[in-house]
Structure 1
Amino acid sequence: MGEIEIDEPIKLVGNDFYGDPHRYYERWREQGPVHRVQFTHGIPCWVVIGYTEARAVLADPRLHKNVAGMYELFRRKDAEILSNEGAQALNSHMLNSDPPDHTRLRKLVTKGFTPRQVAALRPRIEEITAELLDGMAGQDEVDLIQAFANPLPVTVICELLGVPFEDRADFQSWTRVLVGSGGAMEDRIAATQAMSEYLRKLIAAKQSHPAADLLSGLVQPGEDGERLDEQELVAMSFLLLVAGHETTVNLLANGTYALLHDRAQWDALRADPSGIPAAVEEFLRYEGPVGWSTLRFTSEPVRIGEITIPAGELVYVALSAANRDPARYDTPGELDIKANAGGHLAFGHGIHFCVGAPLARMEAEIAFSALLRRFPALDFADAAYTPQWQQSILFRGLGDLPVRPGA
């Protein structure tokens, strides 16, 4: 099948996008909320940047998410880097599925994220937080990501799922390859194979020796006898492991960077810790941990704003752009911990709203409360620090964050 003739011109995106995507969004916003773009070495796709349009798209059943249809489109468009069968299998989880499959998969996993179960994790999260901050005490300089923002959510998700913490270096290295933009095809295939093999062995261990963890629960049939097959278990484990730690790592690091960059707000929050829950919502809005939503595609023409996207097109929602839409927020480009950040789309919207959002919020509230209390003089290790952002459109996160604890 040949490519469809589309009138909308393609906007080319350079590698400088990752350092400051908001420069692109501001430029695009002058021309409307929907754009056809193409990254270096990528294929044309559509991206929605307006808040109203983004919220509508995230809940629109005409924008499909089933992985088989998505990869068929990739193959048709010759996107070799994303069309290998191993990657398709690993990504066949509930975030890349439509009803009724999505309904069935989400029902099986939400039993591990009920409000009661999430609340029961609080004492352990507080304990892990205190231990990590103890490790920072007395040090002249640390990388806050390696010392705190990374090990906190990784420890929590490992304990919740029943994944050995000592395996973290392996699965995080594979994750960086799989969620990064570009990269050599052979590296992506190798990371896919390594992650899949690791998860298959882990699931087999849970089946033979179940424990009191979420993965052990997932290998068992549900109350109605419904159960995941082996490939579904691998894909679900991949989603929970990656999304369960990577997003919170970025939330903690991005939020801390934003506060240290605006010292007055750090001091204000330290003086009134009751504002931390609202501040976390502002961190999520201002520089959330997820830049773009996972992929959707059209199977029929879909009108979004003033643009009609033809059938057979790939569509993303730029969550970070929607969360800075001046039509929705009064001062979108400024951090304001006292502002009402309600309604932000950092966790998505609709049936694919992040199942782990309550856990991420609780981890962040505990982490920021303890960090502000324990290290009130925390500051950049170098006043000239320039952030290096991950080369990923999916995740929005820093490479490092050198700080002086100051206590």
Structure 2
Amino acid sequence: MSAELISPLPIARTCPYAPPAEHRRLREEAPIARVKLPNGRTAWAVTKHEHIRTVLSDPRFSSNRRDPGFPSLSREPPPASDLKPLLLELDPPEHGQVRRGVLGEFTVQRTQALGPRIQQIVDEHIDAMLAGPRPVDLVQAFSLPVPSLVICELLGVPYADHEFFQKRSATLVNQQNTAEEIGRAVGELMMYLGKLVAAKAQDPTDDLLGRQIRKQRESGAVDYEDLVSMAFLLLIAGHETTANMISLSTLVLLQQPEKLAALQADPTKTLGAVEELLRYFTIAEHALGRVAREDVELGGVLIRAGEGVLLLANTGNRDPEVFGNADELDLERGARNHLAFGFGPHQCLGQNLARLELQIVIDTLFRRIPGLRPAVPVETLSFKDDATVYGIREFPVTW
């Protein structure tokens, strides 16, 4: 099997709805291949669905982003940090211990209980759009504020501060920013969250952070650093991904009106449609990285201890051996074995919340604004090719 060295990653999508052609070529010709990273180092790119799932569930591959072999898409080395590792950076057994501590906050039952409030938030923002001038930027008026408000309420973060963390989270996911810029954004967010956690420790409120403080007190001392680390991860991951999925889903459904009409005629199909939209876009394509802790043979290729592995989930989610007509948006496909939320022990903690938000948005937005349409030619839209989370920068709409 080839171990060809290809062009540096990341490679921009030439079609907003498909993986880069070179990634597709890799999947067909060299599913596990050497690639050059922006910092000049090399790593293995894994492009087949089967191999990606294997790596994500194999404890011989580490999630430790501070390991020198971990594949980075930044041009500069990541800023040195003495902060406690985030949940997504931990390996067993520590990862399991930390994850179990917060898992109860994201059960299906607890998430469903948020449904009425999410519905209210969605309706309020549609009300504001309908009452305002047209055209309106869907990103700023709807896609960003809806999940931002949801995650703020879940964590207990004052929504008045949402612009503060939105600006800094955008800095973190932009691969063109320098290590200094990213480090400064991380420091400012951590300082903010540290003050917030300290204030909640004085008077625990009925939100995720408040409940975690009370829970930790019952079993011993409160680990402030752990709570700040968890809040940081949930705050960033909890709105950036869902916001981009809202914009992209709206765009593709507007461009395929017959499929949108079928959804509107039968809302029971929406949840399945959400799964297909997640598979179709796979917006966190470059977010899945690992480093080998020991020599591992994968698909006939020997990956040496210390070598980095990039898992190209978008390409894996278009694997024709797993998904028939993989490049087609089939809202009735019903496949939940996609990789949009990862796989294995690190599978996205907030996936139930993301599904619910997208379901409510799709059911509500097109029902309340039936004439919704792009206000500019779609080919003029700017997509986030320089970010670790794919999306649309601005999306002017009218009706």
TM value normalised by structure 2: 0.91
Could you list the runs of 5+ residues in structure 1 that have no partner in the other structure? 1-6
Q: Specify the alignment match of 2:23 in structure 1.
A: 25
Distance 2:97 2:285 in 1: 27
In structure 2, the residue matched to 1:50 is: 48
CA shift at 1:280, angstroms?
Answer: 0.5
| Selected match of 2:320 from 326, 339, 344 | 326
Task: Find the aligned partners of 1:226 and 1:346 in 2 and give their Cα distance.
Answer: 36
CA distance in 2, matches of 1:308, 1:32: 14
**Equivalent residues of 1:286, 1:335 under 8 A apart:** yes
Does the residue aligned with 2:35 lie in a helix, a strand or coil?
A: strand
Give the secondary-structure state (helix, strand or coil) at the position aligned to 1:389: coil
Which residue of the partner structure matches residue 97 of structure 1?
Answer: 90
On the 8 A contact 1:294/1:394 being kept in 2, the answer is no
Tell me the residue number matched to 1:215.
209
Kept in 1, the 8 Å contact 2:374–2:396? The answer is yes
How many pairs were matched up?
393
The alpha-carbon deviation at position 18 of structure 1 amounts to 4.9
Equivalence map 1:70-85=2 (5 Å) = 70-73=66-69, 81-85=76-80
Q: Which moved more, 1:285-294 or 1:95-104?
A: 285-294
Aligned residue number for residue 228 of structure 2: 234
Does the CA-based 8 Å contact 2:11-2:20 persist in structure 1? no
Contact kept, 8 Å, 1:158 with 1:164, in 2: the verdict is yes
CA distance in 2, matches of 1:33, 1:8: 9
Residues 238 and 306 of structure 1: CA distance in aligned 2, closer, same or farther (over 3 Å): same
Corresponding residue number in structure 1 for 2:155: 161
Q: 1:293 to 1:188 in 2, by over 3 A?
A: closer
Match of 2:3 in 1: 8
Partner-residue secondary structure (3-state), 2:284: coil
Question: What is the SS of the residue equivalent to 2:69?
Answer: helix
**C-alpha separation in 1, matches of 2:222 and 2:294:** 31
What's 2:35 paired with?
37
Q: 2:125 aligns with which of 122, 132, 139?
A: 132
The separation in 2 between residues aligned to 1:106 and 1:292, in whole angstroms, is: 23
Is 1:65–1:98's contact at 8 Å kept on the other side of the alignment? yes
* Gap change, CA 1:329 and 1:340, over 3 Å in 2: same
Question: 1:57 and 1:38 mapped to 2: Cα distance?
Answer: 20
Could you tell me how far apart the structure 1 residues matched to 2:251 and 2:35 are?
29
> What is the CA distance between 1:156 and its match in structure 2?
0.5
Cα offset, 1:386, TM superposition: 3.3
Which runs of 5 or more residues in structure 2 are unaligned? none
Aligned 1:312-351 pairs, distance under 5 A: 312-351=306-345
C-alpha distance in 2 between matches for 1:156 and 1:204: 22
> What secondary structure does 2:45 align onto?
strand
Q: 1:265 to 1:386 in 2, by over 3 A?
A: farther
Q: 1:118 aligns with which of 111, 119, 123?
A: 111
Report the CA distance between 1:66 and its aligned residue: 3.1
* Secondary structure in 2 matching 1:308: strand
Structure-2 change in CA distance of 1:8 and 1:401 (3 Å):
same
Does structure 2 retain, via aligned residues, the 8 Å contact 1:13–1:37? yes
- Report the CA distance shift for 1:383/1:179 in structure 2 as closer, same or farther (over 3 A): closer
What is residue 374 of structure 1 aligned with on the other side?
A: 368
Structure 1 counterpart of 2:327, which letter? G
Q: Does 1:390 align with 2:380?
A: no
- What are the Cα deviations for residues 143-178 of structure 1, in whole angstroms up to 9, with x where unaligned? 111111111110000001001111111111111121
Q: Deviations over 1:69-90 (max 9, x none)?
A: x334369x9x88344233x626
Structure 2 distance, partners of 1:292, 1:249, is 17
Give the residue type in structure 1 aligned to 2:50: T
Evaluate the alpha carbon distance shift between residue 270 and residue 71 of structure 1 in structure 2; reply closer, same or farther with a 3 A threshold. Answer: same
Verify the 8 A CA contact 1:247 1:289 in the aligned structure 2. yes
Question: Retained in 1: the 8 A contact 2:216–2:222?
Answer: no
Give the equivalent residue in structure 1 for 2:283: 289
Aligned residue among 60, 63, 82 for 1:62 = 60
Select 1:246's aligned residue among 224, 235, 240.
240
SS in 2 for 1:46: strand
CA separation of 1:227 and 1:328: change in aligned 2, threshold 3 A: farther
How far 1:19 sits from its partner (Å)?
5.1
8 A Cα contact 1:220 1:227, kept in partner: no
Partner of 1:145: 139
Q: What residue in structure 1 maps to residue 347 of structure 2?
A: 353
- Counterpart of 2:197 in structure 1 is 203
Counterparts of 1:115 and 1:223 in 2: how far apart (Å)?
26
In the TM superposition, 1:172-191 aligns within 5 A as 172-191=166-185
Look up the match of 1:4: none
Q: Contact 1:180/1:391 (CA < 8 Å) preserved in 2?
A: no
Q: TM-score, normalised by structure 1?
A: 0.90
Judging changes above 3 Å, is the alpha-carbon distance between structure 1 residues 39 and 182 closer, same or farther for their aligned structure 2 residues?
A: farther
- CA separation of 1:232/1:294 partners in 2, compared to 1, >3 Å: closer, same or farther? farther
Deviates more, 1:31-40 or 1:317-326: 31-40
Task: Classify the secondary structure of the residue corresponding to 1:37.
Answer: strand
C-alpha contact (below 8 Å) 1:19/1:388 kept by paired residues: no
| Cα distance in structure 2, aligned partners of 1:397 and 1:316 | 20
